[in-house]
Copies of this chain bind each other. A is one copy, B any other.
């Protein structure tokens, strides 16, 4: 489709000796190299920017009449599975928001389907009007304290790098493994360094441990929550991705550390972005607007959303409005709140006034990947959820609806017939994580405070990162109904009361992703939330915290199919508080 940089026809257009395909006249061009604004024209030919300055001749001319023209936005790190959308559907909602590039770490689907799952998303991303890049998922499973559907070693990951869209080894979440020099982990780091680069994930890391992590070659981090933490990582040579997603939002805390001198080493990412937020707030454009509203210079914010991630990933053909780079461009009117009015990808208009205008159809998903990922034991019975009461107090997970970290309580259990049961009066609900990849019958059981349900149950096959089936409820019967409903649906999220499914979001692809449109998914999510509210849950979206209650690499008390995990001790612990 697009011409090479050394195409003589491109150079003829640059010289103004031949007409451009597209000429954007009278723009205020955001120059991310010098972080200035220039008045001028931008000529595009064969998908690339031929020239910036003064041009007159083109097949199509658009007079921007003083509107701003900026490079398209790039998300430096995200898991597209969190949008619950397949790549074409994701593009249909993200492209109108000005996103022209994204680095996807497909580690959610990799935990379910392994390399074939990654390949599925890579196939789905082919030929879309967005530069969809991938990072090779480095930590599948996230820890040995859970049962995932696949285990990926360096040898499994290596062939991925033969695809030029694979631009990094994805976030090396096993930072203790790097720091302590675990051979299998270092093998993945060495592979990433050899083939591309290695992105990081090291919440709270500092001091000598951070030195070890960076010495090994880990070159970015997106987990900083505090300014000092972020500043130290910058000083040790890491590029910083400031994360502002749906679950974790770090922008406000970190914006104060950005200076004119260090901004070149700072980018934005969403990490996890939910479909409703994508539709309602936007994508990287939302972060840019919010950063500006928090006081960041607008041109610097745009550079952090374009050139800076391009430099990190060595994308010399993207990330700026400059001759030879691809024509990934956005038009907007208000520098204090850039809202993309037109979005061009490789010189073609793809979105206008928030709506897709380019073709971006769904692609069929091979039947092997549809509704085939939830395997519960055939004989799953109430007995599987029974918790024999221990002597004394029990550990209880303290859920915070706005955080992915949890607290840890100890409490007297409510006991009936020798078994611990949910106690709605004290908001102490039962939770189960049921292994769903192999139908092994492994079930982790525990209790959680914070959901506020007065009746019924919630269940989800989205449960970071192993994505086993997580269910929380006021009674075992509804919990079982919810688990079976998801099994029948082939994956998803549901709300059950009195044996009846009140709402169901089907996620047939790996139990994580819908085959529906962004609007469908968002509508079904709202129905879920509304149903959860009818059970007494006071939170906007209880499925977000539910999905992170399983993640045994984020403090402090979590539940996997192996049981309760004390993340600080990095081991499975008994229910009994004194165990």
Residues of A near any B CB (own CB < 8 A): 4-6, 8, 10-12, 14-16, 31, 33-36, 38, 48-55, 178-181, 183, 186, 189-190, 193, 197, 207-212, 214-217, 219, 231, 234-237, 259-265, 300, 311, 314, 316, 320, 322-325
* Oligomer copy total: 2
20 A-B pairs besides A6-B189, A215-B324, A217-B316 with CB distance below 8 A are A6-B216, A10-B216, A11-B212, A11-B215, A34-B234, A34-B235, A34-B259, A34-B265, A35-B259, A35-B261, A50-B211, A50-B215, A51-B211, A52-B236, A53-B208, A54-B207, A210-B323, A235-B322, A237-B325, A259-B260
Contact of A14 among B10, B50, B208 (CB under 8 A): B208
Across the interface, which residues of B come within 8 angstroms of A55, CB to CB?
208
Across the interface, which residues of B come within 8 angstroms of A311, CB to CB?
311
Given A180-B11, A215-B49, check contact A34 B231 (CB 8 Å): yes
Contact B235 A36 (CB under 8 A): yes
Given A6-B193, A34-B261, check contact A324 B11 (CB 8 Å): no
Contact A11 B208 (CB under 8 A): no
How far is A210 from B193 in the complex, measured between Cα atoms in Å?
A: 35
State how many angstroms separate the Cβ of A34 from the closest Cβ of chain B: 4
User: In the complex, what residue of chain B is closest to A16 when comparing beta carbons?
Assistant: B208
State how many angstroms separate the Cβ of A68 from the closest Cβ of chain B: 16
State how many angstroms separate the Cβ of A323 from the closest Cβ of chain B: 4
User: In the complex, what residue of chain B is closest to A55 when comparing beta carbons?
Assistant: B208
Across the interface, which residues of B come within 8 angstroms of A33, CB to CB?
234-235, 237, 262, 265
How far is A467 from B528 in the complex, measured between Cα atoms in Å?
A: 80
Contact B5 A324 (CB under 8 A): no
Given A235-B33, A260-B261, check contact A8 B323 (CB 8 Å): no
Contact B193 A5 (CB under 8 A): yes
User: In the complex, what residue of chain B is closest to A260 when comparing beta carbons?
Assistant: B260
State how many angstroms separate the Cβ of A82 from the closest Cβ of chain B: 30
State how many angstroms separate the Cβ of A458 from the closest Cβ of chain B: 42
Across the interface, which residues of B come within 8 angstroms of A211, CB to CB?
14-15, 50-53, 323
Across the interface, which residues of B come within 8 angstroms of A215, CB to CB?
5, 10-11, 14, 48-51, 323-324
Residue of A261, A265, A325 with highest tally of chain B CB at under 10 A: A261
Contact A322 B236 (CB under 8 A): yes
